[in-house]
Structure 1
Amino acid sequence: MGHNITGTLTSPRVATPGENVRRWRIASLLTRQGLADQAGVPLEHVISFEQNLPLPLDSKRRILKQLWAGKIKK
């Protein structure tokens, strides 16, 4: 934990799910369109996920499954 300007304790910032998806996508050398194609979801769903906007749970599952499959292959 760190201290902010007023001297009170602050917690470290935790990445959002969308930030993690973006980081994993980039680490997998995938474009947004490439991930959408491989996951079988519209490009807009990948963009929405990365921006922490609402989208169907099935699309989230497909995107995460594709990213996880890419991690296992490496």
Structure 2
Amino acid sequence: MQTRQLGKSDLHVTPVIFGAWAIGGWMWGGNDEADSIEAIRAALDNGINTIDTAAIYGFGYSEELVAKAIKGRDRG
């Protein structure tokens, strides 16, 4: 997947990112934890290197799921 330099930094991000709002669950009628983790891993496996999340997304639950999904993965 293509990446773009983020401003003048050394960071290169994909133009498509994974939005983690819906995996937070509470505004979307709930979610399945395993499905959410699988979706994050699929995004990463397909080259996406940026995940959008915020504390308000499930009051921290989306961050917990992201942590579970990336645990043990090479982030280099």
TM interval, shorter chain, is under 0.3
Q: Name the structure, 1 or 2, with higher relative contact order (CA <8 Å, separation 6+).
A: 2
TM-score (norm 2): 0.27
